[in-house]
Amino acid sequence: MLYGRRMTQKPTPPTNQASETPEGDRIAKVLSRAGVASRREAERMIAAGRIMVNGKVIDSPALNVTKQDRIVVDNQPLPEAEDARMWLYYKPIGLVTTNRDEKGRTTIFDELPEELPRVMTVGRLDLNSEGLLLLTNDGGIKRKLELPETGWLRRYRVRINGRPRDADFEPLRKGLVIEGEKFQPMIVTLDRQQGANAWITVGLREGKNREIRRAMEDIGFAVNRLLRISYGPFQLGELKPGEVEEVRRRVLHDQLGLERDDTAKPKRPTRARKPGKPHARNLGSDSDRSRQPTQAKGNARTSGTFKSGASSEKSRGKPARGPARSQNGQTNRKNSKNPRR
């Protein structure tokens, strides 16, 4: 190598190879926006050969599509993406929060009312848990609310067996490590003793599998009732088991920052879902129940409460009353005449 001499390099001639990003969006993202499934579920559907693009079955999510491409899902044309919507659902005990259950158990999608369009759940509630479950037709909303960075507080009314003292919950407030898995600190309030059981309120900002049950077991208490009463600003309020209530567009705009026309009226669902089989009757003793919230009266600011097939079954028991619903007109209500069975 020569020193003291300026080294020059001829510029590389331009090539004809395209370096721009392919047009359109990833197929999984498009399916998610259309309300077909979450991105992960869409990728599983692709791997299973359930998606066709322009007449050909695809086997990889590494594909960008545009509005000109013809997409078919399970032999049905992909519906046009609708405006983002969200519903509050009182999940009863005994239903699985999955689209399909390998054990053949009844899922919430078997019991949702026919008036609803295709929806996805935001997070999950296990088989023996009940209460507020958010539903949306928009994969972007689902993903945003499930991200740990969002950090919305989820509050639960929990009944445990035993006579705890407030100090017993200090390990939960500091954060636990169970079988190598770290749990974030929880907000725990001891509410009252009721016979052999105690009612507590638990708040957490993550959604690990059976987190509250596992945490309580770790400090020596068994959970025999678990009811989610809020998810961020959204409240269970006076919903009854199986009821579905749509959130107002203005609330979605304010809480999620959606760039939507918040003055538009919610569209009436047009795609009816196939009726599902009756769900298993809820289990449990009727000897120890809290008060059941009463049905809220409709008003001009609401648009609809739908009753699922599960709502007509005898519920496991009357849930503990959650916090009073705010008076900001958060949700829309209407009665459905055709509950899913």
Among candidate residues 10, 27, 31, the one with its CA nearest the CA of residue 61: 27
Q: Which of 25, 83, 101, 126 is catalytic?
A: 126
Q: Hey, is 220 helix, strand or coil?
A: coil
Query: Residue 79: CB partners within 8 Å, gap ≥ 6?
Result: 34, 35, 118, 271
In sign, the C-alpha dihedral spanning 267, 96, 105, 42 is: positive
For the record, the structure tokens of 65 come out as 């599509």
> CA 213, 286, 294 angle in degrees (round to 5)?
90
Round to whole Å and give the CA distance between 110 and 308. Answer: 9
DSSP string, 41-98: HHHHHHHTT-EEETTEE---S--EE-TTS-EEETTEEPPPPPPP-EEEEEEPTT-BSS
- 126 part of the active site: yes
List the catalytic residues: 126
